[in-house]
Amino acid sequence: KQTEADHSIWIKGAPENKLKIRRGGTGPASPIPQADRDPPPSAMDRLLSKLRSLDAYPKVNEDFYSRTLSGGIITLASSVVMLLLFVSELRLYLHAVTETTLRVDTSRGEQLRINFDVTFPALQCSIISLDAMDISGLEHLDVKHDIFKQRIDAHGKVIATRQDAVGGMKMEKPLQHHGGRLEHNETYCGSCYGAQESDDQCCNTCEDVREAYRKKGWGVSNPDLLDQCKREGFLQSIKDEEGEGCNIYGFIEVNKVAGNFHFAPGKSFQQSNVHVHDLLPFQKDSFNVSHRINKLSFGESFPGVVNPLDGAHWVQHSSYGMYQYFIKVVPTVYTDINERIILSNQFSVTEHFRSSESGRIQALPGVFFFYDLSPIKVTFTEQHVSFLHFLTNVCAIVGVFLHATANDDQSAHSDIWSSRSRLEQPKTSCTIPLSFPLRRFALTKQTPSRRLLPPSHRSRPHFAHRPPPVAHLQAAVMQARRHLTASLSRALTQVPSRSISSTPSLLQTLDPSAPSPHAAGAPPSAGRLAELRRRLQEDTPSLGDFAYSVEVGTRKRPLPKPKWMKETIPGGAKYAAIKAKLRELKLHTVCEEARCPNLGECWSGGETGTATATIMILGDTCTRGCRFCNVKTSRTPPPPDPDEPSNVAHAIASWGLEYIVITSVDRDDLPDQGSGHFAETVQRLKALKPEMLIEALVPDFRGDPSCVEKVATSGLHVFAHNIETVEELQRTVRDHRANFKQSIDVLKMAKEYAPPGTLTKTSIMLGCGETPDQVISTMEKVRAAGVDVITFGQYMRPSKRHMPVSEYVTPEAFDKYRVLGEEMGFRYVASGPMVRSSYKAGEFYIKAMIEADRAKPSAAGSSS
């Protein structure tokens, strides 16, 4: 503090001493009087001081804040992301989450409730019976407990509803027994025709007689010979119901062990330990068991349960047979948020149709459900997330984003500040204009190296691979040239001559051939300055020098397409008509998806006039990801269109094609891998146009024999499955779920299941990196599997993200493989660069059939 007396200043120092400095004085400062010293800090002050030293959030004066545009953008973006994450976390907190656990099922003695609702549009209610049996030997024949039947007409409308009863009201004790046609009265006791179990048993109705016969293991061959059946008009009632259907629904309770239940025509009984259905009374040659499963569940329903058979339907095309569902039941316990426990079951299913036409086994007409129980129990428990867990997640979201965005903002601010600092450096000296543009753009002839780039560019490896556009480079060169010339002119005109003479290295740096100023002995003249400017302009680096200084990495260029791989533009009237029809029905073809080069030739008919097309069913999204295929992929593709078989059949029938190839994507997400869709499409097409030749190019169905059999017996003429490449390159080219052995097994099974005369076919791509020995070895294994037709074609890369072409195989090499295949015994070999799996399929098949027909008369003549 300053006093008025001596104009001195008191400076506070240590608490023990205060110095007094006098203005203008030079003598030593005198000690501060004791009365003017500050009092020592108290214990509370010392405590507060220590607490202040622990402050982890030091305060900065608002005058020192620097707010930038980049910081505002980063803050806004981070706030939006934090808000979205907060809303997501809040939603999880407000809604219950389901926890899933698996454990061994230790329950015993429980009952399994089966709920069903099945519609048979071509079977009358009077002939359908329901039976259930399990592996313990327990049987429920002609179950009537809690079963309802609804008669429906041809349009699906309900005619009448009845509930089957078990037993009936007891009759009075009979007074007489007879088997004649007596008038019905209260004391009437009908004869059981030798099937009664006791002397006082009566059979007053046709149903009673049939039940007594069933218990004896007998069959009723002619109901008209039974008085009760004739009086009730049993056969006449069946004829009256001709053309009607039946909707049967209800539930049954069985033991919780493996077993089956089935819907079949006729009364069932046991004869010699064999389950038999009496079909004689109906006097029919065939039964149509087409059906639709409206609902099928095992146990009580719970939230989120999915019953895969709800809404499933099947249409019978052969005379009759046995349709089987194989079900795996998984016990399930569901505990909701209110701790209410639901004991239920989930299930998975596969299906198979056993036709009576195969001749291998006598198939009972009906719909059979074979179920087995899993030893693992699934437990679902609903629960809420705790508030502390929610609060912890929210704090973690906010903290992580604040820290991350702070670092991003600091980095962005540092980059912008350093760039601005370099750009705003003064350009009045001679050194800055010379060094700045050269270092920034690497404009030099002598040393085209990355060491001339500034540090900010050295840390960016993509700079060497992505040079700036040419227009920007030209502008940069011109700007650097103007900077150099203008700055040098100002410097040489403004700097005194003694300064130039004292720094002889300046001129020598700009022009090594120029004489030293010391030798000249005088300042540069106007002519010398003009000469220096001219030489400077001539020596300025050009755009080519800059492009040369940029390091460009080497990349492997794709192989050029040879001349024999030229493609023709598709066209023609038939081609245009087929394409328009495809767009109208929203159908997909492999010809277009794979960009086949033979599309126009196949659709229009080519030289022989045999028009061929390849239709892709089951959608356009595959569940597998092969490295050569251009089809879209997804783990969960859309479900198949149930009307697709009908649409495809009608479309193909209207095109005027002689030969059709039906193929599909892989559908590992479906229970039957899509085989049922294949079979239904073929059968519908054969019904509309029986003379058409059909080839099915199928996936491997994961080697499932039932799926292969379903397609092979559907009525097709050629069963095709592509192995794609040699055995050694399967894992490199195809999806990991496909392999060579599995494909060979599929072709073998097709040969076994298909009717005689059905051809098997496969295809191999060349140019994937295989060797001739590997190709020959693969051909031998394919021929050993009984394959009739094999095709070879050049692999073409669909896009840059697919597997590159290893080589382009010459036409001469393709011809050698064709000759070799014919020598091995293949009935037909199509081999060429432009050949695809379905290329000229119709021509081959028609020619083969013509040759076979020509051979038959000659063989007959020689035998005669």
Report whether 131 contacts 261 (CB < 8 A): yes
Tens of pLDDT along 454-504? 444 443 443 334 444 555 555 666 666 666 666 666 655 554 444 444 444
- In the structure, what pLDDT confidence band is assigned to residue 848 with cuts at 50, 70 and 90? low
How many Cα atoms are found within 13 Å in the side-chain-facing hemisphere of 92?
14
Architecture per CATH, domain 563-855, reads as Alpha-Beta Barrel (3.20)
List the 8-11 sheet strands across, edge first: 8-11, 19-22, 30-31
Rounded Cα–Cα distance for residues 107 and 104 (Å) = 9
Please state, as a whole number, how many other Cβ atoms lie within 10 Å of the Cβ of residue 373. 20
Token pair for 496 = 């005194």
Q: Is residue 356 scored above 70 in pLDDT?
A: no
Mean pLDDT of 266-292: 75
Dump the DSSP string for 145-190. TTEEEEEE-TTS-EEEEEE--SS-PPPPPPS--B-S-PPP-TT--B
Q: Is residue 705 scored above 80 in pLDDT?
A: yes
Non-local CB neighbours of 735 within 8 Å, separated by 6+ positions: 624, 625, 626, 666
Give the residue among 825, 767, 754, 821 at the shortest CA–CA distance from 793: 767
Report whether 241 contacts 344 (CB < 8 A): no
Mean pLDDT of 603-621: 70
Rounded Cα–Cα distance for residues 652 and 676 (Å) = 19
Cα 163 → chain centroid: 47
pTM of the model: 0.39
Predicted pLDDT at 585: 57
Please state, as a whole number, how many other Cβ atoms lie within 10 Å of the Cβ of residue 149. 21
Tens of pLDDT along 642-659? 999 998 998 888 877 788
Predicted pLDDT at 93: 84
Non-local CB neighbours of 214 within 8 Å, separated by 6+ positions: 141, 142, 267, 268, 269, 278
Predicted pLDDT at 486: 65
Mean pLDDT of 153-171: 62
Q: Is residue 33 scored above 70 in pLDDT?
A: no
Mean pLDDT of 514-531: 57
Predicted pLDDT at 589: 62
Position of tokens 């099947």?
314
Report whether 584 contacts 612 (CB < 8 A): no
Most confident of 215-229, 568-582, 598-612, 687-701: 687-701
Predicted pLDDT at 601: 59
User: Among 289-293, 416-420, 656-660, whose mean pLDDT is lowest?
Assistant: 416-420
Domain with CATH 3.20.20.70 in the chain: 563-855
Percent of the residues in the chain that have a pLDDT greater than 70, as a whole number = 64
User: Among 197-201, 577-581, 716-720, whose mean pLDDT is lowest?
Assistant: 577-581
Tens of pLDDT along 666-677? 999 999 999 999
Non-local CB neighbours of 503 within 8 Å, separated by 6+ positions: none
Using alpha carbons only, how large is the chain's radius of gyration in Å?
A: 46
Tens of pLDDT along 363-416? 788 999 999 999 999 999 988 888 888 899 889 988 887 888 777 777 776 766
Rounded Cα–Cα distance for residues 680 and 642 (Å) = 10
- In the structure, what pLDDT confidence band is assigned to residue 271 with cuts at 50, 70 and 90? low
